Amino acid sequence: MLITFEGIDGCGKSTQIEKLKEYFDNNGVGYSVFREPGGTEISERVRSLLLHDTDDMDAVTELLLFSAARSQLIREKVIPLLEQNEIVILDRFYDSTTAYQGFGRNSSSLSDIHTLNKLASHGTVPDLTFYLKIDPKIATQRTKGTEKDRLESAGDDFFKKVATGYDMLVSTDKRFCVIDADRSPEEIHDEIVTIIEAYQQ
Ligand code: ADP
Ligand code: TYD
């Protein structure tokens, strides 16, 4: 089973993934967690290029690098685990590319991004995608004062466009679960667990 978490920076994904890990641990359920970009040696090397090295990266270069990191992770780690019926949790997947590179950066047409997403994911589709929906202003307040990487420093207008992208995406597939992320971490976690349990029945 593939569970993905999506949302703008500061929406609370990492917090919720930690809570979900605890929940699975307490219930004796096995799982694997990977973050995008990253999760393999090659993908982590691409990550450092994407998030730290340069401010003048071309938008298409960025799109292709996120996709390259993804292809390696999915082929090397995720597909073998899913073939063994394991639970895989991804901190971001190709919906991030649609929202950030497509809507945020306008780096390419949505149809080209869709084709690239399919290629880089080797056809893998999530069973459940939790979109932690939050006002960009609240998310920015949450991350204020923390050290920002290249994309996190992109500014409010950028995140508004990314949020619009997610809002459009969620109506395209029933795998999306829109979660009101402006609540306590416990309330959000309870809703996520309820949805996963219902899905598994
Ligand atoms: P992300 O991984 O989506 O960037 P994090 O889980 O790292 O987000 O959360 C960003 C910041 O917001 C952290 O300081 C975290 O403690 C805080 N935070 C996370 N969830 C909530 C919440 N539900 N309410 C208030 N603050 C939160
Ligand atoms: P990260 O530090 O993992 O942020 P977060 O905790 O919010 O996920 O950095 C990942 C950054 O990369 C984040 O700003 C979103 C961005 N990103 C894209 O622009 N496109 C993508 O396809 C992916 C996977 C991430």
Looking at residue 36, which CATH number applies to its domain? Answer: 3.40.50.300
Give yes or no for residue 19 CB within 6 A of ligand 2: no
Q: What are phi and psi of 35, to 5 degrees?
A: -110, 150
| pTM of the predicted structure, to 2 decimals | 0.96
pLDDT at 94: 98
Give yes or no for residue 9 CB within 6 A of ligand 1: yes
Q: How many angstroms does the Cα of residue 190 sit away from the middle of ligand 2? A: 25
Name the residue of 92, 132, 142 to mutate for ligand 2: max ligand atoms within 8 A of Cβ: 92
pLDDT at 52: 83
| SS3 track for the chain | CEEEEECCCCCCHHHHHHHHHHHHHHCCCCCEEEECCCCCHHHHHHHHHHHHHCCCCCHHHHHHHHHHHHHHHHHHHHHHHHHCCCCEEEECCHHHHHHHHHHHCCCCCHHHHHHHHHHHCCCCCCCEEEEEECCHHHHHHHHCCCCCCCCHHHCHHHHHHHHHHHHHHHHHCCCEEEEECCCCHHHHHHHHHHHHHHHHC
Which residues span the domain enclosing 104?
2-200
**Two tokens at 191?**
């809703």
pLDDT at 144: 81
CA 21 – CA 4 distance, rounded (Å): 13
Q: How many angstroms does the Cα of residue 109 sit away from the middle of ligand 1? A: 31
pLDDT at 111: 97
Name the residue of 91, 142, 151 to mutate for ligand 2: max ligand atoms within 8 A of Cβ: 151
Considering only CA atoms, which residue is closest to atom 10 of ligand 1?
10
CA 39 – CA 68 distance, rounded (Å): 12
Q: How many angstroms does the Cα of residue 139 sit away from the middle of ligand 1? A: 8
Q: How many angstroms does the Cα of residue 100 sit away from the middle of ligand 1? A: 19
Give me the residue label for tokens 């970009």.
37
pLDDT at 143: 85
pLDDT tens over the chain, length 201 residues:
999 999 999 999 999 999 999 999 999 999 999 999 999 999 999 999 999 866 789 999 999 999 999 999 999 999 999 999 999 999 999 999 999 999 999 999 999 999 999 999 999 999 999 999 999 999 999 988 776 665 666 678 899 999 999 999 999 999 999 999 999 999 999 999 999 999 999
CA 190 – CA 188 distance, rounded (Å): 5
Give yes or no for residue 71 CB within 6 A of ligand 2: no
- Cβ contacts of 79 within 8 Å, gap of 6 or more: 122, 124
pLDDT at 55: 76
The total number of structural domains in the chain stands at 1
pLDDT at 72: 98
Q: Which amino acid is at 1?
A: M
